[in-house]
Chain A
Amino acid sequence: MYMIKLAIFGFGAVGRGVAKILIDKERIRRLIGEYTVVAIADSKGAIISDSIDLKKALEIKNKEGSLPERLTVDEIIDSVDFDVALELTPTNIKTGEPGLTHIKKCLKKGCHVVTSNKGPLVVAYKELMKLAEKNNVKLMFEATVGGAMPVIKLIKRDLAGNNIISIKGILNGTCNYILSKMEKEKLPYDVVLSEAKELGIAEANESYDVEGIDSAAKLVILANALMNMDVKFDDVEIVGITKITPEAFEIAMEKGYTIRLIAEVNEQTLKVGPRLVSLNNPLCIHGTLNAVLIKTDLAKEVFVIGRGAGSIETASAVISDLAEIYSCEVNK
């Protein structure tokens, strides 16, 4: 029986969520067969072993804040033998780094990659896919868009054969929380934002979410991966939610509308911005949820809703990608 060797790069919320699920050997063995984690790295350190005790690794991370061995991800890729890299480092939309270098190196080495990192895909989607194909390995990225909500594999696999006409989605839970709260409580933006920060729903530096940058990055991935486009981040027309007034909701409601931050792609459009959404539209969702309305030529409309963030939720998408890689190989 072949023993699959996994390497985890990035040990933040998502990395730790993945580790927690990987502890459940019985659950994962059913999906991919025998496996072991041979390397874990965070931004400061690493753990290397033929069979890492994940429980212990999580304890060390919680207690010390970082991992003990002075090794970088680059050094690990060069020196450690593994089959799949789980690239879960933080996103940088502009450069794609450090994830971009990690992914390229792993693919060139002949390793599969599963990533939750939007940056590398936004910066170099086509290049990375070509590289994966050339080296006969897979690059999976379900966790980059919509967290636990299935959308990439749903369209690629379950809607195979369909031409995608348009995708409209709510891809940022923080914005949706703020807007649906403003709608319900009739409160100004600033008040709801500080409340969201207190609840941990918005980050201390909220601009990445509320300016529409995060949604736009996800939209670029959807357009390139699912609609065969070749678009860049700068091609997206972006308007954030910071200037929305509570009165806007009252006035919109008179005509049967509410306001949501919508990412939309079709042949003529690539934009993120606040939109009037009919109260009857399935995208009129509340709280931190994400949702996507897909229009195709054969299946017509398909609607998905789910949790767009969270450690275990996002890890769920990473695990499903891992399962997908080995779904055809498990019985070989």
Chain B
Amino acid sequence: MAIVSLVVELKDKPGQLAKVIEPVSKYKGNIISIVHRREEISEGKVPVEISIEIDEKNVKKLLENIKSKGITIKRFNESRLTSTTSVVLIGHIIHTDLSSTIDAVDKTGFAEVVEMHISMPCLNKPSTAMVTISAIGDEELKKAMENLKAVCKKKGIIMIEPLEPE
């Protein structure tokens, strides 16, 4: 499942929103939120921001269907990654080939390191890093964490996991 958020321009008159909602329902999407940005009305058109949870396979068809009804899609952004967690790593993170450590997550194809904060107080002393990982689902996140843990174990890096999921 992916979370897609799009901004469409609708004429400020009855029945317009249905033109967008109908295709969402057709492609089995689940609407998470709808926001009318009435303060941004220009030339009689209201920007409406819609977030939808939908199967990745259907995203393209959904967008085409909405466009075919004469509606302008002003912006579209697909956020594939829905599960996120942070872990702390302690050890010789830099000198043990940082990029291969990150690859343990990134090469999965279903998870990515989306944020990293490293603290290196002294040369040759262990560094500490906070790594934030996002994945397309909880199961995938768990797998990516296991991969990272295995690589850290080999490199003598301690991985501190959260007690509860985020």
Q: Which of A277-303 touch B at CB < 8 Å? A: 277-278, 281, 283
Q: Which of A256-281 touch B at CB < 8 Å? A: 257, 259, 262, 264, 273-278, 281
**Of A84-92, A139-147, A247-255, which stretch is located at the interface?**
A247-255
Q: Does the CB pair A250–B119 fall under 8 Å? A: yes
- Known contacts: A276-B161, A277-B163, A278-B164. The answer to whether A244 contacts B117 by CB under 8 A is no
Which residues of the other chain, B, contact A252 by a CB distance below 8 angstroms? 88, 130, 160
Q: Does the CB pair A255–B163 fall under 8 Å? A: no
B contact face: mostly helix, strand, loop, or mixed? strand
Q: What 0/1 pattern do residues 89 to 112 of B give for CB contact below 8 A with A? A: 011000000000000000000000
Q: How many residues of A contact B (CB 8 A)?
A: 24
Q: Which of B108-166 touch A at CB < 8 Å? A: 117, 119, 121, 126-130, 158, 160-164
- Known contacts: A245-B126, A245-B128, A251-B129. The answer to whether A259 contacts B158 by CB under 8 A is no
Chain A: CB-nearest residue to B118: A251
B34 at the interface (CB under 8 A from A): no
CB pairs A–B below 8 angstroms (12 shown): A244-B158, A245-B121, A247-B119, A247-B121, A247-B128, A248-B128, A248-B160, A251-B88, A273-B160, A275-B163, A276-B161, A281-B164
* Further pairs besides A243-B90, A251-B88, A252-B130: 18, Cβ < 8 Å: A168-B163, A243-B158, A244-B90, A244-B158, A245-B121, A245-B126, A247-B128, A248-B128, A251-B130, A254-B130, A262-B163, A274-B158, A274-B160, A275-B163, A276-B161, A276-B163, A278-B164, A283-B163
Binding site for B on A (CB under 8 A): 168, 239, 243-245, 247-248, 250-252, 254-255, 257, 259, 262, 264, 273-278, 281, 283
Binding site for A on B (CB under 8 A): 86-88, 90-91, 117, 119, 121, 126-130, 158, 160-164
